[in-house]
Chains A and B, each alone.
Chain A
Amino acid sequence: MLYKKMFTLILILFIPISIYAQKELNFTYWGSTFEKKAVEDVIDDFNKSHPGVHVTAQHIPQNYDEKIMTMITGGNAPDVGYVAGDTVQLWATQGITKNLSPYFASDPDLRSRMEVSRYRIGDGIAATNAALESMIIFYNKKLFDDAGVPYPPSKWNEAWKWDDFVNVAKKLTKDKNGNNALSPNFDPENIDVYGFAHDRWWGHWMPFIYSNGGKLISDDGKTVLMDQPESIQALQKLADLSWKHHVAPTPASTKSFPNNNVMLQTGKVAMSLNGHWNILDISQMGFEWGIGVLPYHKKPITITFGGAIAIFSGTKHHEEAYKLFKFFGDPDKNALFPKGLWMPLRVKDYLEPSLTAKWLDKIPGVYPPESRDVLVDYTLISTLAHPRKPPSYWVNGWSKALSKVIQPAVDLIFTNEATAQEAMRDVPSKANPLLKGRL
């Protein structure tokens, strides 16, 4: 009797202990409801394949930074989580996220994550992208067929020169009477279908400055170079699409409605410049679409970037946190890759056909056939031959300079209230004091 009681007591005592022995990790992320579902699946898989470890995924769709800051201040920091690209440097310098350099030194698989995806802080590496993302052209095939115009090129070495692109966009732009923008009767005040659409966010203008041989910022990270002729030219040509050639609506905020995907679907826009991650949405919209490479000025390149993923310094389970960090970026395990939202980080996922098939072909009907040109070759050319990291990766104070000075000036060009020359003139003198050099 006594033994039985003792046994029960021990059992009762043991239950909490055994739960405690299981390593509890917290993963924080943002994203759409779709992304939430996918992330939960990844976490489930991780939990199943790693006995003794239990990860809880915490979805924070809004005000992510504030929420994480509050959690950290309250001593409740997550173990692994997304970090906004603009926030990485702040959190890394404050020691909120862990320096990943030791892992890079010891793990060749991690080392194969592209250089452009690494957030470097001094000698350390604070984070890598959660995935690679690139800017490409989406197009509505029917509008091209109707106008008798060949589809946008998908090979980087066949990309349109800027003027050819403008010419094609003119053929696709139609007014209410059905005249295209090349017709002498064209009525620019009553446009029904636009040849092209883009918006004012930096991802949409940065590639063209690079393509024109320009730089945003000097290599020491202290001087804005957007007042240089290459940048001015690229920005002016983008604005001319709306105000001179009348082939694009005024680029508005990404928050505008209807968004460019819907305009593409409904045939109001023939080509839309956008991030490759829109493949997820567009592949479910039920119209004939394709992807192509960006038009270019001097070099046919695009930019890549991506939100970051990092390990938080406060974690108690370093080894498990690292496993989770790696698991998340594996295209074979994470459904966000084959579903069109994410592109892999490792060079071999692009170079080796068997690995490429694992994300491009896993789910039929997501990635169009030309993806091997646009997403594999073009990405490799842009990341390996002409690597360009957006300044948020390496310039201290960039996000402040961007939001306070640079984007407002770009707005003026896009609304035709100033020429690129006028708008950019004062940008360096105002923005330079906000920059604090390389990270």
Chain B
Amino acid sequence: MYSQKKTEIFWAIVFILPAVLGFLLWNIIPIISSAVISFTEYRLIGPSIWVGWDNYRFLFVEDFLFPKVIKVTLYYSLVSVPLKLMFALFIAILLNKKIKGLAIFRTIFYLPAIVPLIAATILWIWLFNPDFGLINSFLQIFGIAKIQWIYGSKTVIPSLILMSLWDVGPLMIIFLAGLQGVPRTLYEAADIDGASNFRKFYHVTLPMITPTLLFNLVITIITTLQTFLQPYVMTEGGPNNESLLYLLYLYRTAFKDYEMGLASAQAWLIFIFIALLSYIVFKTSKYWVYYEGK
């Protein structure tokens, strides 16, 4: 009996080991070493020099680009996150109605999510072309003057936000699942009380889907703050660094300037910022998220 248990434990460890080792080797150790590296000057080749808080001090005091990068990233995120959520919810509500060709519409709105991001991004470069692009050609019909889109320093972030709205498929699907979970009986009761569509949405739908909303909010905040590919492919951070989002700047520091210490410091700052933001969202969620079970 005893030895059988021992064998079981042995095999349990053997089976768990790959996952644990993988987690240690590919996650924990790199995370810890990046924390250490962030206090050094390290260029991949050659010695690493301990510089204490210098990298962090450089970012906050000396680097003239860092404040701009933060400003640009916050601008993008603060506008993009709520717009994406509202847009996804709006479409989800529409697609929750019983209309003809529902499956087709749902597919159409989800389709962008299965297009590889890089392909979609290149498609949008075409659309945004100021001189030959489809969007400007269309606007021209109404006599609207050329817009520079991703090539103008004031229009580049709004353009990227516009583009991000195109890709709300996954958020929409989750909202849709949440909407389907709202009990019919509540709507029937509201109908009997003579509630308008808006009141039904505000007093029934919205409270019932707040758990879904919370999930989508956290996910969207995290992914939006880490947007990288779109500015990397479309604008290279330009014009005038107006689309130099945080992760693109980090990438440049690490793989163009080879300042691994500085890049690690940047990585830790965004990590702490996202962790803090998520913490705040979760902490405040008890005031606005409604769980039916409770």
Q: Which residues of A come within 8 Å of B, CB atoms?
A: 63, 65-66, 69, 72-73, 86, 90, 94, 96, 189-191, 194, 200, 249-250, 252-253, 255-258, 263, 268, 399-400, 403-404, 407-409, 411-412, 414-415, 417, 430
Please report the C-alpha to C-alpha distance between residue A138 and residue B38 in the assembled complex, in whole angstroms: 48
- Chain B residues lying within 8 Å of A403, measured Cβ to Cβ, are 252, 256
**CB contact between A430 and one of B46, B64, B146, B252 (< 8 Å): that residue:** B64
**CB contact between A69 and one of B130, B152, B233, B258 (< 8 Å): that residue:** B258
Question: Distance in Å from the Cβ of B54 to the closest Cβ of chain A?
Answer: 16
Question: Distance in Å from the Cβ of A107 to the closest Cβ of chain B?
Answer: 29
A253–B130 touching, CB < 8 Å: no
- Chain A residues lying within 8 Å of B130, measured Cβ to Cβ, are 249-250, 252
- Chain B residues lying within 8 Å of A255, measured Cβ to Cβ, are 125, 233-234, 236
Question: Distance in Å from the Cβ of B136 to the closest Cβ of chain A?
Answer: 10
Q: Specify which of A190, A255, A263, A403 lies most central, judged by the most chain B CB atoms within 10 Å of its CB.
A: A403
Please report the C-alpha to C-alpha distance between residue A174 and residue B267 in the assembled complex, in whole angstroms: 50
Task: Take A65-B255, A94-B45, A408-B238 as given contacts and tell me if A415 and B132 are in contact as well, using a CB distance cutoff of 8 Å.
Answer: no
Task: Take A255-B125, A256-B125 as given contacts and tell me if A96 and B45 are in contact as well, using a CB distance cutoff of 8 Å.
Answer: yes
Please report the C-alpha to C-alpha distance between residue A268 and residue B133 in the assembled complex, in whole angstroms: 13
Please report the C-alpha to C-alpha distance between residue A411 and residue B151 in the assembled complex, in whole angstroms: 9
Closest 10 CB pairs between A and B? A411-B239, A249-B131, A408-B240, A408-B241, A411-B240, A69-B44, A411-B238, A252-B151, A412-B240, A94-B45
Please report the C-alpha to C-alpha distance between residue A69 and residue B256 in the assembled complex, in whole angstroms: 11
B44–A73 touching, CB < 8 Å: yes
B45–A69 touching, CB < 8 Å: yes
A257–B45 touching, CB < 8 Å: no
- Chain A residues lying within 8 Å of B126, measured Cβ to Cβ, are 257-258
B103-124 contacts to A (CB < 8 Å): 122
Question: Distance in Å from the Cβ of A388 to the closest Cβ of chain B?
Answer: 24
Q: Pick 25 A–B contacts, CB within 8 A, sort by A.
A: A72-B44, A90-B43, A189-B140, A189-B145, A190-B140, A250-B148, A253-B151, A253-B234, A253-B235, A255-B233, A256-B129, A257-B125, A257-B126, A399-B256, A403-B252, A408-B239, A408-B241, A409-B240, A411-B153, A411-B239, A411-B240, A412-B240, A414-B239, A415-B151, A430-B64
Nearest neighbor of A412 in chain B, beta-carbon distance:
B240
Q: A72-B44, A257-B125, A430-B64 are in contact. List 11 more A-B contacts (CB 8 A).
A: A90-B258, A96-B45, A189-B140, A189-B146, A194-B131, A250-B130, A250-B131, A250-B151, A258-B126, A415-B151, A417-B240
Question: Distance in Å from the Cβ of B8 to the closest Cβ of chain A?
Answer: 40
Task: Take A250-B130, A250-B148 as given contacts and tell me if A72 and B45 are in contact as well, using a CB distance cutoff of 8 Å.
Answer: yes
Please report the C-alpha to C-alpha distance between residue A73 and residue B238 in the assembled complex, in whole angstroms: 32
B203 at interface (Cβ–Cβ under 8 A)?
no
- Chain B residues lying within 8 Å of A409, measured Cβ to Cβ, are 240
Nearest neighbor of B238 in chain A, beta-carbon distance:
A411
Question: Distance in Å from the Cβ of A98 to the closest Cβ of chain B?
Answer: 15
Q: Specify which of A191, A249, A252, A263 lies most central, judged by the most chain B CB atoms within 10 Å of its CB.
A: A252
B122–A257 touching, CB < 8 Å: yes
Please report the C-alpha to C-alpha distance between residue A190 and residue B233 in the assembled complex, in whole angstroms: 28
Q: Which residues of B come within 8 Å of A, CB atoms?
A: 43-46, 64-65, 122, 125-126, 129-132, 140, 145-146, 148, 151-154, 233-236, 238-241, 252, 255-258
**CB contact between B46 and one of A63, A94, A268 (< 8 Å): that residue:** A94
Please report the C-alpha to C-alpha distance between residue A190 and residue B257 in the assembled complex, in whole angstroms: 43
Question: Distance in Å from the Cβ of A87 to the closest Cβ of chain B?
Answer: 9
Please report the C-alpha to C-alpha distance between residue A190 and residue B136 in the assembled complex, in whole angstroms: 11
- Chain B residues lying within 8 Å of A191, measured Cβ to Cβ, are 131
- Chain A residues lying within 8 Å of B131, measured Cβ to Cβ, are 191, 194, 249-250
Please report the C-alpha to C-alpha distance between residue A257 and residue B151 in the assembled complex, in whole angstroms: 13
Please report the C-alpha to C-alpha distance between residue A412 and residue B242 in the assembled complex, in whole angstroms: 10
Nearest neighbor of A252 in chain B, beta-carbon distance:
B151
B64–A66 touching, CB < 8 Å: no
A415–B148 touching, CB < 8 Å: yes
**CB contact between A417 and one of B43, B44, B152, B252 (< 8 Å): that residue:** B152
Please report the C-alpha to C-alpha distance between residue A258 and residue B125 in the assembled complex, in whole angstroms: 9
**CB contact between B153 and one of A400, A417, A430 (< 8 Å): that residue:** A417
A412–B153 touching, CB < 8 Å: yes
- Chain A residues lying within 8 Å of B233, measured Cβ to Cβ, are 255
- Chain B residues lying within 8 Å of A63, measured Cβ to Cβ, are 255
Question: Distance in Å from the Cβ of A169 to the closest Cβ of chain B?
Answer: 15
- Chain A residues lying within 8 Å of B132, measured Cβ to Cβ, are 249, 258, 263, 268
- Chain A residues lying within 8 Å of B255, measured Cβ to Cβ, are 63, 65-66
Nearest neighbor of A426 in chain B, beta-carbon distance:
B64
Nearest neighbor of B239 in chain A, beta-carbon distance:
A411
A415–B153 touching, CB < 8 Å: yes
- Chain A residues lying within 8 Å of B239, measured Cβ to Cβ, are 200, 408, 411-412, 414-415, 417
Question: Distance in Å from the Cβ of A83 to the closest Cβ of chain B?
Answer: 14
Question: Distance in Å from the Cβ of B133 to the closest Cβ of chain A?
Answer: 9
Question: Distance in Å from the Cβ of A81 to the closest Cβ of chain B?
Answer: 15
- Chain B residues lying within 8 Å of A200, measured Cβ to Cβ, are 238-239
A407–B238 touching, CB < 8 Å: yes
B145–A94 touching, CB < 8 Å: no
Q: Specify which of B45, B233, B234 lies most central, judged by the most chain A CB atoms within 10 Å of its CB.
A: B45
- Chain B residues lying within 8 Å of A430, measured Cβ to Cβ, are 64
B43–A94 touching, CB < 8 Å: yes
**CB contact between B45 and one of A73, A258, A399 (< 8 Å): that residue:** A73
Question: Distance in Å from the Cβ of B80 to the closest Cβ of chain A?
Answer: 22
